[in-house]
Amino acid sequence: MIDPVHLDLEILSELKEVMGEEFTFLIEVFKTDSIVRISAIKEALASKDPDAVRRAAHSFKGSASNMGAIRLTNLCRKLEEIGGSGNINEAEVIAEEIVDAYSHVEKALG
Amino acid sequence: MGKVLNYFPSPAKILIVDSNSSERCLLKRFFLEHSYIVVDAASGRDALTSFKKHRPDIVLLDLLMSDISGFDVAVRIKALAGDDFIPIVFLTSLQDERSLVRCVEVGDDFLAKPYSQIVLQAKINSLINMRNMQLTLINQRDEITNYNHDLLQQQDVAKRVFDRIAHAGVLGADNIKYHLSPLSIFNGDVMLAGVSPTGNLVVFLGDFTGHGLHAAIGSMPLAQTFYTMLKKGFSLREIVREINITLCEILPVDLFCCAFIAEINFNNCHLRVWNAGLPDCVIYRSSTREVVKLASNHIPMGINETLNFDATVRVYEIEPGDRLYVWSDGIHEAQNSRGDMFGEDRLMDVFACNSRVENLFEEINTAVDHFIGDSAAEDDVSLLEITMIKADLFKLDKRAALNSDGLGLKDWRMRLELRPETLKSFDPLPLLLHILMNVPHLQPYGGQVYTVISELYSNSLEHGVLGLDSAVKLSSVGFTEYYQHREASLAKLSKGYVIIDLDYSGNEEGGDLKIIIEDSGVGFDYQQMLCEDAFKNQFSGRGIHLIRSLSQSLHYAGSGNKAYATFVWSD
Q: pLDDT tens digits, residue range A34-51? A: 999 999 999 999 999 999
| A78 contact B CB<8A | no
- SS3 state of residue B288: coil
Cβ–Cβ contact A38 with B under 8 A? no
Q: Which residues of A touch B110 (CB under 8 A)?
A: none
Nearest CA-CA distance, residue B138 and chain A, Å: 36
Compute the distance between CA of residue B143 and CA of residue B147 in angstroms, rounded to an integer: 6
Omega before residue B9 within 30° of 0, cis: no
Q: What is d(CA B235, CA B334) in angstroms, rounded to the nearest whole number?
A: 35
What is the pLDDT, as a whole number, of residue B400? 46
pLDDT digits (tens, 9 = 90+) for B115-145: 888 888 899 999 999 999 998 998 999 999 9
ipTM > 0.85, yes or no: no
Instruction: Determine the Cα–Cα distance for residues B516 and B563; give it in Å rounded to an integer.
Output: 6
- Cβ atoms of A74 and A66 within 8 Å: the answer is no
Task: Tell me the pairing of strands B201-208 and B189-195.
Answer: antiparallel
Task: Establish if A79 touches chain B: CB-CB under 8 angstroms.
Answer: no
| Residue pair B301/B259 in contact by the 8 Å Cβ criterion | yes
CB contact under 8 A, A66 and B114: yes
The answer to whether A22 contacts B29, with C-beta atoms less than 8 Å apart, is: yes
Percent of chain B with pLDDT over 90: 40
| Nearest-Cα residue of chain A relative to residue B29 | A19
Smallest Cβ–Cβ distance between A61 and the set B21, B66, B93 belongs to: B93
**Amino acid present at B40:** D
pLDDT, average across residues B315-326: 93
Which residues lie below 8 Å from residue A91, measured CB to CB, with a gap of 6+? A45, A53, A79, A82, A83
Contact A19 B115 (CB under 8 A): no
Distances (CA, A) of B147 to A51, B8, B84, B150, B214: 56, 22, 21, 5, 17
Q: Which residues of A touch B22 (CB under 8 A)?
A: 26, 29-30, 33-34, 63, 66-67
- Chain A neighbors of B62, CB-CB under 8 A: 62
Which positions in chain A touch B70 (Cβ < 8 Å)? none
pLDDT recorded at residue B7: 44
* pLDDT of B268: 84
Residues of A in contact with B23 (CB under 8 A): 62-63, 66
* Residues with Cβ within 8 Å of residue B432, at least 6 apart in sequence: B416, B453, B500, B502
A40 contacts chain B (CB < 8 A): no
HEC string of B354-419?
CCCHHHHHHHHHHHHHHHHHHHCCCCCCCEEEEECCCHHHCCCCCCCCCCCCCCCCCEEEEEEEEC
Q: Closest to A55 (Cβ–Cβ): which among B26, B64, B115?
A: B64
Contact in structure between B535 and B516 (CB atoms under 8 Å): no
Chain-chain contact of B64 with A11 (C-beta, under 8 angstroms): no
Question: Cβ separation of A68 and B114 shorter than 8 Å?
Answer: yes
* A-chain residues near B64 (CB < 8 A): 55, 58-59
Q: What pTM was estimated for this model as a whole?
A: 0.56
Query: Which residues of chain B from 92 to 151 reach within 8 Å of chain A, CB to CB?
Result: 93-94, 113-115, 117
Mean pLDDT of B503-522: 90
What percent of chain B has a predicted confidence (pLDDT) above 70? 90
Question: Minimal Cα distance from A81: which residue of B?
Answer: B94
Q: Is B40 within 8 Å of chain A by CB?
A: no
- Quick one: closest CA in B to A69, which residue? B114
Burial category of B437 from C-beta neighbours within 10 Å (exposed 0-12, middle 13-18, buried 19 and up): buried
Give yes or no for A30 touching B (CB within 8 A): yes
Tell me, rounded to whole angstroms, the distance of Cα B5 from its chain centroid. 41
Q: Which domains does chain A have, with CATH numbers?
A: 23-109 (1.20.120)
Enumerate the residues of chain A whose CB falls inside 8 A of the CB of residue B26: 15, 18-19, 26, 66
Give the pLDDT score at B8.
Answer: 45
Long-range CB contacts for residues B481-486, cutoff 8 Å, separation at least 24: B486/B462
Element (H, E) at B109: strand B109-112
pLDDT at B156 over 90: no
Q: How confident is the model at residue B17 (pLDDT cuts 50, 70, 90)?
A: very high
- Residue of chain A with shortest Cα separation from B25: A26
- β-sheet bridge partners, residue B15: B39, B59
Q: Do B113 and A33 touch (CB under 8 A)?
A: no
Give mean pLDDT, residues A54-59.
90
For the residues B406-420, what does the mean pLDDT come to? 88
Please say whether the beta carbons of A11 and B114 come within 8 A.
yes
* Residue A70 contacts B where some CB pair is shorter than 8 Å: no
Domains of chain B: 13-139 (3.40.50.2300), 166-393 (3.60.40.10), 411-570 (3.30.565.10)
Q: Tell me the C-alpha to C-alpha distance, in Å, between residue B3 and each of B84, B142, B503.
A: 10, 10, 73
What does the radius of gyration of chain B's CA atoms come to, in whole angstroms? 39
Instruction: Name the residue among A18, A61, A62 with its Cβ closest to that of B29.
Output: A18
Question: Is the CB of residue B337 less than 8 Å away from at least one CB of chain A?
Answer: no
Distance of alpha carbon B204 from alpha carbon B246, whole angstroms: 16
**In this structure, what are the phi and psi dihedrals at residue B26, rounded to the nearest 5 degrees?**
-65, -50
First to last CA, chain A: 12
